[in-house]
Amino acid sequence: MFNGAGLLQEKMKDLSLQAQTDPLTGLANRRTMAAAIEKLASAGQSFSLIAVDIDHFKTINDRFGHDAGDFLLQKISILINQSSRSGDLACRTGGEEFLLILPRTTLTQAVEIGERLRLMIESTSFGRVGKVTASLGVSCWPNENKTVQQIIKVADDNLYVAKQNGRNKVVSME
């Protein structure tokens, strides 16, 4: 009887973890991201966001195949975790997009963290894919007259400004 209950508890723990993480990268998923941001905002705690997008990812997938693309996503995830501090949360939000949640971090500090991550990615060779770059967009909460959802959009908009201005950049316009 104890073994059955122990197995059931272990299975429930596994299912809970699966519901919170991206299966390919092991990073937090969108659901976990949304809950973490809401928890920080509800507590009135300041935070910054860094949206990360791998430049030319579709071309990489087309040229080297989806297995190479998956390998790249996994390796980028490791770099994101390495650039994160203990209280930060790294999330895969979809495709080749990631979001870093940085509690108690100013915009200036977040830009510095983003720049370190950008340089780490740029200087790493990813097997047969070789060198890649990433574009990053940064935002900070609280921000005058902006909701939490708008702050997420600001990070995403800044990421696309980085892409439009040549890629391989960190952009933090509010």
Per-residue pLDDT of the chain (174 residues; tens, 9 = 90+): 456 666 656 655 555 555 789 999 999 999 999 999 999 999 999 999 999 999 999 999 999 999 999 999 999 999 999 999 999 999 999 999 999 999 999 999 999 999 999 999 999 999 999 999 999 999 999 887 788 999 999 999 999 999 999 999 999 987
| Boundaries of every domain in the chain | 2-171
Supply the pTM of this predicted model.
Answer: 0.89
CATH 3.30.420.130 fits 2-171, yes or no: no
Instruction: Please give the positions annotated as active site.
Output: 96
User: Are 114 and 133 in contact, with CB atoms under 8 Å apart?
Assistant: no
In 55-164, beta strands by DSSP E: 89-94, 97-103, 125-126, 130-131, 134-141
